[in-house]
Amino acid sequence: MTIYGALFYLLAGITLVAAVLAVTRKDPMHAVLYLVAALLATAAIFLLLGAPLPAILQVVIYAGAIMVFYLFIIMLLGPRGEGGSIAPRRAALPGLLAGLFLAAAWIVFDGDPGVKTVLSASQASAAALGAFLVKTYWPVLEAVSILLFAALVAALVLCRPRRPHPGGQAGRT
């Protein structure tokens, strides 16, 4: 097995562990941070396999924009975890995952130039990919925009302050 094969399995392991931890955490902030780690490791796998466009899209769209949106919603609703500072023993696993990810990323970025050959499916420009998506999958794109709008409306309704009801009971108006 080459170093790149081992690196692929290391990144895949980081992705799996971070995804499982994201699903099993009680604190939503920790879950989002583990999900970001899983998305970044997935982007590194794309880069390792010679697909820079999906790697960039993974970082910018998913690990960037969508995770910021999730963090905004969590902060808007208020964190419901145990809060407080993190004990050193609880910070060991995230630190280990971050260290493994940084080591793997260093090897990818500093690697052999022969590994940086681009896959044929990832040679398309961003403009060609966007035109293909809009021409072929426009109903799906519209459905996603409606879902995002519904999520925004739901967040606004959930975060509206409670006002006293005229009948004497507290409720949402």
pLDDT value of residue 42: 92
Average pLDDT score over residue span 13-32:
88
Whether the per-residue pLDDT at 154 is higher than 70: the answer is yes
Q: What gap in Å lies between CA 30 and CA 26, rounded to an integer?
A: 8
Q: Please, which pLDDT band fits residue 90 given cuts at 50, 70 and 90? A: low
| Class of domain 3-117 as given by CATH | mainly alpha
Taking the C-alpha atoms of residue 123 and residue 80, their distance in angstroms, rounded to an integer, is: 44
- Name the pLDDT band for 160 (thresholds 50, 70, 90): confident
Identify the pLDDT of residue 123.
61
Return the pLDDT at 5.
Answer: 85
pTM of the model: 0.55
Average pLDDT value for residue range 144-168: 75
| CA dist., res. 7 & res. 110, Å (int) | 13
- Retrieve residue 143's tokens: 């459905």
Residue ranges per domain, the chain? 3-117, 124-173
User: What mean pLDDT, rounded, does the chain reach?
Assistant: 76
Report pLDDT digits (tens) over 23-65.
Answer: 888 888 888 888 888 999 998 898 888 777 788 888 888 888 8
Note whether 68 and 33 are within 8 A (CB).
no
